[in-house]
Amino acid sequence: MKLKKVPVTLDGNDGEIQILRNGHGIPEITASTVADLMRGLGWIHANDRQLQTLLTRILLQGRAAELLKADDALIAIDTYMRRMNFLSDSQAQLAQLEPGTRKAMDAYVKGFNEWMEDNGLVFEFKLLGYRHPEPYAVTDCLRLGKVFGFLGLADIQANMEKFLVEMIQKGLSEEKLKELFPYLTDPIDTALINQVTLSPPLVPAAVEWLNRLPRFNASNNWAVSGRHTRSGFPILCSDPHLEVNRLPNVWQEIVLRLPGNTLIGVSIPGGPGLIIGRSSHLAWSATYAYMDMLDYRIERCRDGNYYRKDGWKPFAVREEEIKVKSKPSIRIKIHENKNGLLEGDPHIEGHYLVLGWSGAKGCGARDFDTLIKMMDTRNVEAAMALFCQVEAVAMNWAFADTQGNIGYQMSGRHFKRPEEISGLLPNAGWDEQFDPQGFNDPEDLPNVFNPPEGFIATANQDLNYLGRSNPINLAMGSYRADRIVQLLETGSDLDVAYMKDMHYDLYSLQAERLMKIIGPVLPDTDNGRLLKAWDLRYHANSTGAMLFESVYRAIIDVVFGDHGIGRDVVDHIFSETSLFNDYYANLDRILEKQSSAWFDGQTRESLFKQGIEAGLRAEPVPYGKTRSITLAHLLFGGQLPKFLGFDYGPLVLPGCRATIPQGQIFKNAGRLTTFSPTYRFITDLAADEIHTNLAGGPSDRRFSKWYVSDLKNWYEGNYKVLR
């Protein structure tokens, strides 16, 4: 039995579960209890997103080479997943689930497995020879939740911290480093860091598979008090920025109906609950918090041991067997100690990094407790108290309720460190002062309830000032958040229509600030006049936006390439990593200074002139000509003829890193990827409805009418209404 044009009825534990598809193709589930709702949600995820859910599980289990194909990239991704061992304490986390949560999660997997038993595998898996999946399990949900807290979030912090090690090893001065990283207050032990051997990164083909997993990158959300709105009730808005050039979309929209309460929003296929959405009483949304959840240590190794002042200690060794389809298995050994996972071979004498992630063990269950309890949470204060306890996922949660309240709460757990230690540098594992000291009190995380200004905006900026601890030491620039605040402050009688315009606003405060420096030294040439006349908006037909990007990149080449890390390294950052796309504001802070160690005694104006001259040599074309993307099928992207319709595009992606809709296009390990709004959500708490659009559709079935049914709305700025 599949969900088609007629409603489906399931026998729940507490009565009938009714499932139908509304006019937008979005499943609506009606039940008398949360557990039965979750059973229906599991059934829907198997019906609409089986490919996404099971492919994600295969990758997270580290079994892709076993179940899909014998491929070096899949062996590499399996090795990565087995090494990380994201759910190492699965039985402990199962035992810690509250009874109501466990009941709901058991119901979720039961619903998923019921559909699978009745209908079987989708054709894509059959083509790959994947025939007999084991039943979906609660541990699969828990593992998904843990990985969702690491990929695209904690791992980008890890990449930047390792890049910091590389810059020290290249001889970059302490003065330049501390200008580039304002939170870097630690003394730098250059002699020790120079001894570190860094492990090689994943091969590009493996990164491509890793990018098929749900990865939070950045986002916006904002809540506005009713005293600023036309309706007199709060408004909550959200647009999570993930990889948009993929099909299906990461999110699946859903409507969940209980007696006296309706919940509408987005779920992540493979897990229960709503990540972003609203009930009849309360709305909530998430952005990435840029919390530092990582600590690197340096271990001195030899003969499989690590050094301590009282002698050499053996690593704990975990053996993993990676099965390979139709080929011999591969056995790997992973070395660990209390500081974390070793990134190197301890049998080869040397100094290696050990990765400690605050979400590695002892957490995960409480995160799902929160998602399930949110189904019946009625006000902002109660929601803040719940999300304060979320541990494995570092998010900025914004809330609004029908009682007129708004609030903000950061979630996630971060290491307690000595005061002078920033967390940005690896420290000696044998020095006791750096030994693990537990975690900071979640009550000290940044939060605010009904702020006096009457609004809250988060866009991955530094929000340490709202808490008693300092969980952030690297953040995105505040341009998007500042623009959101600017528009909220200048608007009056704010309403849903105003918020829709904000979602698609293409004005760049980054460009405004930098053009104050660039504009006065632009030459009186055709390109110089074009750039000077630019309206600072990243429209697809703007030649000014294209020229600004060319000049901005050329200035970075001059200042940070020629006077610091080398142009080859700058090229690598742009072409092989996402580091610039996350941390570009660290560069901007230096570019805005009158003098800097990075200028090597030259004036800022002379360096800018070099960059401007080089950047303006570009042939001016409309910005959109440089912004083409294709939405690629999760499994077959780029491998099948275009006329079959698995991929969709090309589409021009407007916006840039500093506009409210980021629209970032970049390469990661040579693969084109994006940060862009994957879903847009607006709700005025005066009405029991939400306004949304999604870059895709409800289904991952290529030949379903719901495969890309909402994509035109998303692209053209139209919103559907769900009540």
222/399 Cα distance (integer angstroms):
9
Mean per-residue pLDDT over the chain, rounded: 94
Neighbour-count burial of 526, counting CB atoms closer than 10 A to its CB (0-12 exposed, 13-18 middle, 19+ buried): exposed
Nearest by Cα to 587 from 607, 614, 613: 607
Q: What are the tokens at 246?
A: 């993929």
Residues 6+ apart with CB under 8 A from 164: 177, 181, 184, 424, 425
Name residue 428's amino acid: A
Contact call for residues 530 and 543 (beta carbons, < 8 A): yes
pTM over 0.85: yes
Select from 304, 297, 296 the least CA-distant residue to 345: 304
- Say if residues 386 and 223 touch (Cβ distance below 8 Å): no
Strand, helix or coil for residue 160: helix
Residues in the chain where the model's pLDDT stays below 70: 1, 5, 203-204, 215, 669-670
What three-state secondary structure class fits 379? coil
Looking at residue 1, its pLDDT comes to 63
Nearest to 696 by CA among 134, 247, 124: 247
- CATH assignment of 509-625, among 1.10.1400.10, 3.90.480.20, 2.60.200.20, 3.40.190.10: 1.10.1400.10
The pLDDT of residue 203: 66
Local structure of residue 422 (DSSP, 8 states) = -
Q: Which of 267, 654, 657, 672 is nearest to 459 (CA)?
A: 657
Cα 464 to chain centroid distance, Å, stands at 19
Rounded-to-integer distance, Cα 598 and Cα 115, Å: 60
Q: Where are the domains of the chain?
A: 509-625
Instruction: Determine the Cα angle at 553 with ends 551 and 558, to 5°.
Output: 95
Residue 213 is predicted with a pLDDT of 80
DSSP, collapsed to helix, strand or coil, labels residue 216 as coil
Nearest to 158 by CA among 375, 2, 357, 298: 357
CA 175 to chain centre: 31
pLDDT (tens digit per residue) in 653-691: 989 999 999 988 887 766 778 889 999 999 999 999 999
Q: CB–CB of 186/420 below 8 Å? A: yes
Q: CB under 8 Å to 432, separation ≥6 — which residues? A: none
